[in-house]
Amino acid sequence: MSEHATRIDEGFQTILDLLPVYEQQIQDLNEIVLANLVLISEIPAPTFEENRRMEFLLERFSEYQLQNTSTDEVGNALGILPGTEGNRNILVSAHIDTPFSAKIDHTLTIQPAYVSGPSVGDNSLGVATVATIPLILEQLGIQLKSNLVLMGSARSLGKGNIEGIRFFLNNNELTINAGISVEGVRLGRLSYSSLGVIRGEINCRVPEEYDWSRFGASGAIVNINDVINRIVEIPIPRRPRTTIVFNSVQAGSSSNDTPTQGTLQFEVRSESAETVRRVGNQITDIAAEVSSQSGAEVWVNVFARRDPGGIGFGHPLAARAREIMKALNVDPRISPSTTELSAFIDRGIPAVTVGITDGEFTGEENERIEILPIAKGIAQLVGLIVAIDQGYCDDEPGQLA
């Protein structure tokens, strides 16, 4: 082993040895993290309506005296914790939008062991973590050499199509050397590659002049059901791994009326861009066929696309992330991502997605997260930031897939 490699191993081992100390010290700051979590969670932030959360995050960044605290055209919240050398930039982001409208009660329930409420894990805890990181680093006595760019990214979910982080990466003047996407759940989550994705909706509208006696059972629900049955029959390869997900169905309003409109939201996910394209085309053909046979208008609207890619299993960033988790007695749960990680991948930036704590009922109004593991999850994030800052996660030629 070379002297250089020995120094790297010894330096990184020092970080691993400090992780339990970080966890204990962060545990003492739990009340601040939870206070930010409550304040953030109770601000509704459906996609395209995130301004109030953005403003809250900017207030926190200003309180911690971050530099260049600002927003941009799409509503991202940005702040920079300057490093001592400042010749590298690490981007840590968490999406600020949620799937819940302002009509939903956003009040949280706090118990000794858990917190529950809409979006508490996806992704209010991620945002609260990003909001508190400057204070945590200060309390731990950590001074980074790199600039730490903190961001609450807007327009991430659904039709937002990760527009916030894409806009930032495409338009900012900083060179981002590495990225970390922070999700509230689940602790042990580790993504460093992205699946290819098509995300869209199939719309059905029955025209006013429709002959209701033509085909027996009728209405938009019947047409949507026909589409679902045909999509399920599409041959799906085992390799490359591919799946079709039905996200939601909306049709009808009462038992007295025949529904004339309906919407089916879907995703096609695959390790292969060609498979995503092929299955997407088959779904479009199915919609057209159902439309021609039923007399209803059925069409597909694709509003999000992702290309597969990422860093490999042996990339130093992926390897160090696994080692950090294991040092904290966390079992890495490695899986491809369909979220903001793909924006980093598109720009050729080494990046990972990590989770902060355990939880359940994700995506439901009674979503719940556990309090105790939060300190461990944040210690993991801090360890990863420090490892990147000190160069232990630098990529090598050929490591970016």
DSSP of 78-124: EEEE--SS-S-EEEEEEE--BS--TTS----EE-SSEEESTTIIIII
| pLDDT for residue 385 | 98
Q: How many residues does the chain have?
A: 401
C-alpha 309: how far from chain center: 16
How far apart are the C-alpha atoms of 373 and 356, rounded to whole Å? 8
Environment class of residue 160 by beta-carbon count within 10 Å: exposed (0-12), middle (13-18) or buried (19+)?
A: buried
| pLDDT for residue 208 | 66
CB 280 within 8 A of CB 268: yes
Long-range contacts of 2-9 (CB under 8 A, 24+ apart): 8/391, 8/392
Tokens coding 326:
């294991």
| pLDDT for residue 156 | 94
Run means of pLDDT, 10 residues per run, the chain, 401 residues: 59 95 96 96 95 96 95 96 94 96 92 95 96 97 97 94 95 94 96 93 82 58 93 93 92 72 94 94 96 90 90 95 97 89 93 96 92 98 97 67 41
| pLDDT for residue 105 | 92
Tokens coding 255:
């038992």
Tokens coding 98:
């949620």
Annotate 35-68 with b (16+ C-beta within 10 A) or e (fewer). Answer: ebbbbbbbbbbbbbbbeebbebbbebbeebebee
Tokens coding 146:
């790199």
How far apart are the C-alpha atoms of 136 and 296, rounded to whole Å? 58
CB 179 within 8 A of CB 88: no
Task: For residue 160, give the DSSP letter.
Answer: G
pTM for the whole structure: 0.87
Q: Give the pairing type, strands 77-81 and 147-153.
A: antiparallel
| pLDDT for residue 351 | 96
| pLDDT for residue 10 | 84
Annotate 74-92 with b (16+ C-beta within 10 A) or e (fewer). Answer: bbbbbbbbebeeeebbbbb
How far apart are the C-alpha atoms of 83 and 96, rounded to whole Å? 25
Please state whether the peptide bond connecting residue 123 to the residue before it is cis, i.e. omega within 30 degrees of 0. yes
| pLDDT for residue 400 | 39
Coil, strand or helix: which one is 72?
Answer: coil
